[in-house]
């Protein structure tokens, strides 16, 4: 009886050792990246040992399944890690974000806000183009600090346009960005978007425009007396346009309300934006020779607003208060404000 009991215990001990060794062997020879997620109280969830570099870590089976099934990855990352039919990694199409900017009290805070939005967007190239004769080092510092791949250029408004009472601001900058894209023969699968620095952007907008095949359009909030500019969509098709200022425009849309493919730009080498205040978007889209039937309604058939024309409040140039501020931080701060 005693012998049988000892044999039985030995068997279970040996069996346990064998199972433990097998699990350890599998864990050590299955290197994987890992993520963490909080597990609610009372949830029965076993831990799995994995080797990450030279460390053994423990991870929840539910979390591990989430990684395997990509449930814990954001949509952009899922697409970026998806594979082509031949098994190779399929990268995201590049977004070419063209931002015109000019010197004013709000320039640095506007660009700071925009840069910290774009920092969360994968696979982009930011073309930041100043309406200036020389590059502003304070603007350059913002884009460098962001870590976003960027091109920093100048494209001053032509002298004759500067003399006009009503100016078509940003046109020379956007045209320079389009020229750079043509000159550098970028990926034709990419998408171009004009992102002004005084708008507010939902990150979902960039997911939407990345899949544009030719010309995508979507609503823009906080614009004109109607509060929104958008294509009118019925049964998934664009049937017209809703905007507070139609003005006999074929495409009465806001600059922030459309994105188009690099391939389309390549097909229309003469497409440019004109210096016609109020008609920049319309005339540019006409130069691309697109039709209403070409428009791809984005943002859930144009029922969501992912970009707002917030327009930072205009501020007068700062005036330093009277007083003796020699050898203090005040002079430095005013150099920043006036940059």
Q: Which residues are catalytic?
A: 281
Taking residue 163's Cβ as centre, other Cβ atoms within 10 Å add up to: 9
Distance spanning both ends of the chain, measured CA to CA: 92
Which pair of tokens denotes residue 233?
A: 């969509």
Cβ proximity of 295 and 320 under 8 Å: no
CA dihedral angle for residue 198, residue 131, residue 102, residue 116, rounded to 10 degrees: 50
Cβ proximity of 292 and 214 under 8 Å: no
Strand, helix or coil at 54?
coil
Nearest-angstrom CA–CA distance, 23 and 330: 65
CA distances from 335 to 107, 132, 154, 197, 317 (A): 14, 18, 22, 21, 12
Nearest-angstrom CA–CA distance, 98 and 157: 16
């Amino acid at each position: 009886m005693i012998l049988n009991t000892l044999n039985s215990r030995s068997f279970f001990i040996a069996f346990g050792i064998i199972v433990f060794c097998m699990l350890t062997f599998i864990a050590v020879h299955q290197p994987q990246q890992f993520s963490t997620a909080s597990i609610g109280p009372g949830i029965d969830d076993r831990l799995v040992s994995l080797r990450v570099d030279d460390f053994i870590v423990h991870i929840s089976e539910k979390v591990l399944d989430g990684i395997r099934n990509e449930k814990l990855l954001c949509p952009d990352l899922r697409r970026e890690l998806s594979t082509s039919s031949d098994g190779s990694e399929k990268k995201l199409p590049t977004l070419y974000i063209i931002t015109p900017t000019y010197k004013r009290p709000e320039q640095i805070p506007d660009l700071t806000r925009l840069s910290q939005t774009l920092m969360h967007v994968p696979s982009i190239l930011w073309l930041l183009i100043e309406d200036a004769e020389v590059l502003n080092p304070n603007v350059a510092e913002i884009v460098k600090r962001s870590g976003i791949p960027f091109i920093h250029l100048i494209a001053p408004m032509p002298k004759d346009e500067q003399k006009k009472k009503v100016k078509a601001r940003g046109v020379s900058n956007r045209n320079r960005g389009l020229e750079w894209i043509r000159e550098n023969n970028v990926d034709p699968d990419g998408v171009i978007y004009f992102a002004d620095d005084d708008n507010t952007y939902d990150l979902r907008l960039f997911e939407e425009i990345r899949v544009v095949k030719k010309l995508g359009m979507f609503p823009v909030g906080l614009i004109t007396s109607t509060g929104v500019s958008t294509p009118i969509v019925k049964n998934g098709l664009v049937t017209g346009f809703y905007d507070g200022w139609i003005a006999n425009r074929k495409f009465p849309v806001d600059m922030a309300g459309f994105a188009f493919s690099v391939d389309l730009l390549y097909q229309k080498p003469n497409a440019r934006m004109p210096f016609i205040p109020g008609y920049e978007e319309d005339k540019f889209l006409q130069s691309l020779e697109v039709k209403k039937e070409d428009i791809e309604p984005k943002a859930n058939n144009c029922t969501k607003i992912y970009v707002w024309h917030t327009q930072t409040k205009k501020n007068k140039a700062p005036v330093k208060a009277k007083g003796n501020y020699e050898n203090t931080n005040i002079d430095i701060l005013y150099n920043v404000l006036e940059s």
